[in-house]
Structure 1
Amino acid sequence: MSRRPRALITGASSGLGSGYARTLAAEGYDLVLVARREARLEELAEQLRATQHILAEVAVADLSTRGGIDAVVEIIAAQPIDVLINNAGYGLRGTLLGTSAAELNDQDRVLTAAVRELSLAAARGMHARGRGGIVNVSSLAAVTTMGQYAASKASTLVFTEALAGELRNGPVTVTAVLPGFIRTEFHSRLGMERPGPGLIWLDVDQVVRESLRDARAGKVVSVPGWGYRLAALVAPVVPRPLMRWGSRGFSFARTRGQ
């Protein structure tokens, strides 16, 4: 058995998830990489084994299914996980009324149910061992009214804060990460052009670096990027009618971009 710390990362096949994987591998962590796309996971795992000389296990799981969540819970129960990164997620192309209940349920299962169940499974083991950290990737969309995605991310934020409250003053940290726009495949998969000026877009490496720094400092909420930190401070005092208006405008732009 390796004596290196071990991190489990969901949504590890691309974007922010692969960024966390590369950073933690470079720091000497063994990895459990979880996603639906086996070929991408295997390619990333092989690269990290060869370049960082760590152990990288691949676990193909669809977290929108009961079986996928259970499979990852079993991995967490079977081996010590020192760091859990709940990053898996995706957006939907359609509006609430134009999307089936099954699609909305699947998305919510990935963004909330999987996060909740994996976090609780990991937290119990970490608490018993007296060490560990959980990072749940929410979104600044959590403060908006941008459809089911925003609703699910808001749920994840509140859950993470609640779990952190239960574990306060102990050796296990729990952190919600609220990124803004990041340069990943997220928007291209939805058939959307990147909105706004380039300066609002963050690099994956910056989000990973700042969020891990905040998590290690014991912060409950991490907002990478100074501009987004300012927005997060202002958001609670923005009147909800104004927030709804702004969210609606973004949704209309998104619909036209499909």
Structure 2
Amino acid sequence: MSSRATALVTGPATGIGRAFADKLAREGYDLVLVSRDEARLKETAAELTRLHGVDCEVLVADLTDTDDLARVEERFRTGPIEVLVNNAGFGQKKPFWENPVDVEEKQLDLLVRVVLRLTHAAVLPMIERGSGAVINVSSVAGFLQRNIYSAHKAWVTSFSAGLATGLHAKGVAVMALCPGFVHTEFHERMEMDKSVIPSFMWLDANDLVDAAWKDLMAGKAISIPSRRYKLIAAAARFTPRALIARVSTVGLDGGRRRAQ
């Protein structure tokens, strides 16, 4: 049986989630990988074991399903999880008023309710041990009035920062990671026209995760990668809402036109 610490990552097959899985494996963690795509999840687990020599446990779960979510929560009680990365998520191609309300509710569940429940399940045993860390993948969109996705991510950032303050003295770290545009499958799935986004705005997922890990080790409650996105987040605090709303539509119209 492995003596390594264990980390749990949701949405680990691609993009930021995969970059976190690779990073944690390189840092010496065994992994619990959570996704609803069983075939891809097993393929990812096998590859991570081959590349890094770590043990990978597979949990096939649709986190918006109550029973599946309960099984993942139970995993925090059956064996110590030292690091949780809440990464699973998806975006909407259409505006709020054009989507069925059950679709909007499913996104709310995954981006907010699941983050709340898994964080709660994780921190209770971490508090008992006096150690552990939770990274909740948020977005710089949470600093902008962009769409419902922005509202969900604003909650994730505020939730994480508030917990970080309360749990620091108990030896538990909580951090919100707020990336901007990252080269992943996320934008392709939304059929967004990536050409409308300037090349300098795109980030590499592995570089992003390396920077986030350094911020976690430094005790930061909010990690905003790259100087350009730090400036955007800072400017959002002092920029009139009307201007933010106009700038925040960049990338949306082109994506919707392509999807039509």
TM-score (norm 1): 0.96
Q: Distance in 1 between matches of 2:43 and 2:121?
A: 28
Q: Tell me if structure 2 keeps the 8 A contact 1:65–1:109.
A: no
- In the alignment, what sits opposite 2:59? 59
Structure 1, gaps ≥5 residues long: none
Q: Distance in 2 between matches of 1:161 and 1:23?
A: 23
- In the alignment, what sits opposite 2:6? 6
Q: Distance in 2 between matches of 1:249 and 1:207?
A: 22
2:124 aligned with 1:116: no
- In the alignment, what sits opposite 2:232? 231
**Amino acid in the other structure paired with 2:235:** V
Q: Tell me if structure 1 keeps the 8 A contact 2:63–2:69.
A: yes
**Shift, 1:93, TM fit:** 1.4
**Amino acid in the other structure paired with 1:176:** A
2:131 aligned with 1:127: no
1:94-173 counterparts in 2 under 5 A? 94-173=94-173
**Shift, 1:105, TM fit:** 0.5
- In the alignment, what sits opposite 1:201? 202
Q: Distance in 2 between matches of 1:251 and 1:14?
A: 22
**Identical columns (%):** 39
Distance 1:83 1:175, change over 3 A: same
State the secondary structure of the residue aligned to 2:96: coil
**Shift, 1:76, TM fit:** 1.3
**Amino acid in the other structure paired with 1:101:** V
**Count of residues paired in the alignment:** 258
**Shift, 1:248, TM fit:** 4.1
**Shift, 1:244, TM fit:** 1.9
- In the alignment, what sits opposite 1:36? 36
TM-score (norm 2): 0.95
Q: Distance in 2 between matches of 1:184 and 1:249?
A: 18
Q: Tell me if structure 2 keeps the 8 A contact 1:82–1:131.
A: yes
Question: Which stretch has the larger CA shift, 232-241 or 116-125?
Answer: 232-241
Distance 1:189 1:111, change over 3 A: same
**Amino acid in the other structure paired with 2:68:** G
- In the alignment, what sits opposite 1:71? 71
- In the alignment, what sits opposite 1:254? 255
- Compute the RMSD of aligned alpha carbons: 1.3
Q: Distance in 2 between matches of 1:102 and 1:240?
A: 29
Q: Tell me if structure 1 keeps the 8 A contact 2:192–2:251.
A: no
Q: Distance in 2 between matches of 1:196 and 1:148?
A: 20
**Shift, 1:33, TM fit:** 0.5
Q: Tell me if structure 2 keeps the 8 A contact 1:26–1:52.
A: yes
State the secondary structure of the residue aligned to 1:214: helix
CA displacement, residues 56-98 of structure 1 (integer Å, 9 cap, x when unaligned): 0011111122122212101112110000000000111111111
**Shift, 1:246, TM fit:** 2.2
Q: Tell me if structure 2 keeps the 8 A contact 1:93–1:190.
A: yes
CA displacement, residues 118-158 of structure 1 (integer Å, 9 cap, x when unaligned): 01111111110011011000001101222221111111111
Q: Distance in 1 between matches of 2:68 and 2:106?
A: 12
CA displacement, residues 194-245 of structure 1 (integer Å, 9 cap, x when unaligned): 1322111000111110011101111000001111111112111111122122
**Amino acid in the other structure paired with 1:158:** S
**Amino acid in the other structure paired with 1:239:** P
Q: Tell me if structure 2 keeps the 8 A contact 1:6–1:82.
A: yes
**Amino acid in the other structure paired with 2:205:** V
State the secondary structure of the residue aligned to 1:156: helix
**Shift, 1:53, TM fit:** 1.4
**Amino acid in the other structure paired with 2:165:** G
State the secondary structure of the residue aligned to 1:168: helix
